[in-house]
Amino acid sequence: MLKQSLQQKLLQKLSPQQIQLMKLLQVPTLELEARIKQELEANPALEEGAEREEVQDELDRDEQEASEALEDFDFDEYLDDETPDYQLSVRNHGADVEDRDIPLGSGATFRELLSDQLGLLDIALETRALAEHLIGHLDDDGYLRRDLDSIVNDLAFTQGIDVSRSALEQSLEVVQALDPAGVGARDLQECLQLQVTRKRQDKSADDPRQVALSRAALLLEEHYEAFTKKHYDKLQSALEIEEDDLRTALDELTRLNPKPGNAGSESSRVVHHVIPDFLLSVDGEDVVLQLNGRNAPELRVSRTYREMMDTYSQGGKQDKATREALTFVKQKVDAAKWFVDAIAQRQQTLTKTMQAIVEHQRAYFLSGDEVDLKPMILKDIADRIGMDISTVSRVANSKYVQTPYGTLSLKSFFSEGIATDSGEEVSSREVKKILQDAIAEEDKRKPLSDEKLGVLLNAKGYNIARRTVAKYREQLGIPVARLRKEL
């Protein structure tokens, strides 16, 4: 049975403008520039530059200064026809003027380089076509991950081409003979074997490195599992060689490239350019912070559109066409005003948040030592600036600050706190730094296990369990003790 009833509810709903403002707050510098360009193209009531009165006053001042300087300038002192032009060129940029050009690299991908090499070989057309097809199947690292039988079936069912596996293997051998060595391998073992074989072929028979290379080839072919697990005692016993001989063979293997597809400077991977949102410098005991100029564009509402709106609104009785024109102009002017205010609010929020981070981590920014990083979570900064945690999260997302110690992500300044024996709370980043230093200084012949690293940290006053040590080690990208073992 259907009933009608009157209910009163209190809901919190975000307006489209608030949603757009949050999105503007989250985007990094490059995306902001694209967003501003998009808005300028879509809204004719929005223009670049400061307000015209300010611009005109600045132009008038510059013109007056230039005129006064021109009266005192003696051209005769600078007329010298024998001075070459290159000595008169100058880069008219001050130290505080930032270069906004992004260098762009262009070149052939490694697949195109392989195809170019293939075109120089004197091989059968069928072999060439299959080799081209295999090159198309290579991943970015240069490996052929797809099984040959599957490729044979693909050619048969999708293109109606009947190819034998032996013919495909012959074409794969052609691909594997191309540069860089190791491309076309189906796994890491084959990749390393191809490179060792190429090195042995390139060196003369009496080269002293031939012995080490032959042992390296034997390691890969017959003792690959023991090699990957670093069971050096087993390898010495199996090959019946001394420790120094094993070390030279391992040295040859460590020189190989496990990702030959990225061996060249040109890669098919997309290069992501990092543009710092903040510029931070240290002057003695002072930390100077400024917003990157790209985050503070000069935008204004078009005076022409404002005058049009005033004209339409003061026109007395209006017909339908005039009302529609007034509505259109008002929408554009309102949208332009909102966008200018939104950009200004973004700048204010970014600066306010980063300033709070600098105040909280002042010791770190003065020294640059990660040990000086204090525990800091989003709530700490949100409470300091009186904003919501989600706002701080959006500011920290995809933002970078240029410091004397490198360009760093804002997220890197946030970390959990760990209690010490003295009751003091320290940053997990500090513990990771000590853990990293301990592993760097360990005896590589007998690397420290996670349990021993935990004992070491506990002795320094940090209450950390073995599983926490393992978590931090993995976050640092450091392998387990067995894989850190060296001769």
Which residues, other chains included, contact 466 with Cβ-Cβ below 8 Å and sequence gap of 6+?
450, 451, 454
DSSP label of 461? T
Q: What is the pTM of this model?
A: 0.54
228 or 272: which leads in pLDDT:
228
Cβ neighbours of 172 (radius 10 Å): 20
- What is the fold of 417-484? Arc Repressor Mutant, subunit A (1.10.10)
Please answer whether residues 365 and 375 qualify as being in contact, where contact means their C-beta atoms are separated by less than 8 angstroms.
no
- Give the C-alpha separation, 135 to 154, whole Å: 15
Beta strands in 29-92 (DSSP E): 46-48
Neighbours of 213 (CB within 10 A): 19
What is the rounded average pLDDT of the residues 393-420?
Answer: 84
Strands (E) across 372-482 are located at: 400-403, 406-409, 417-419, 425-427
pLDDT tens-digit profile of 404-416? 988 888 888 887 7
| pLDDT band at residue 369 under the 50/70/90 scheme | confident
The owner of tokens 């506990």 is 458
**Could you give the dihedral angle defined by the CA atoms of residues 124, 126, 129 and 132, in that order, rounded to the nearest 10 degrees?**
-70
pLDDT at 79: 46
Backbone angles phi, psi at 392, to 5 degrees: -65, -40
Whether the CA torsion 32, 37, 38, 43 is positive or negative: it is positive
- pLDDT of 159 reads 82
**Could you state, in order of their start, the residue ranges of all structural domains in the chain?**
110-262, 278-413, 417-484
Give rounded-to-5 percent helix, strand, coil for the chain.
55, 5, 35
The model's pLDDT over 230-288, given as tens digits with 9 standing for 90+, comes to 888 888 888 888 888 888 888 888 889 998 887 554 444 455 677 888 999 998 888 99
pLDDT of residue 92: 55
Query: Contact, 42 vs 291, CB < 8 A?
Result: no
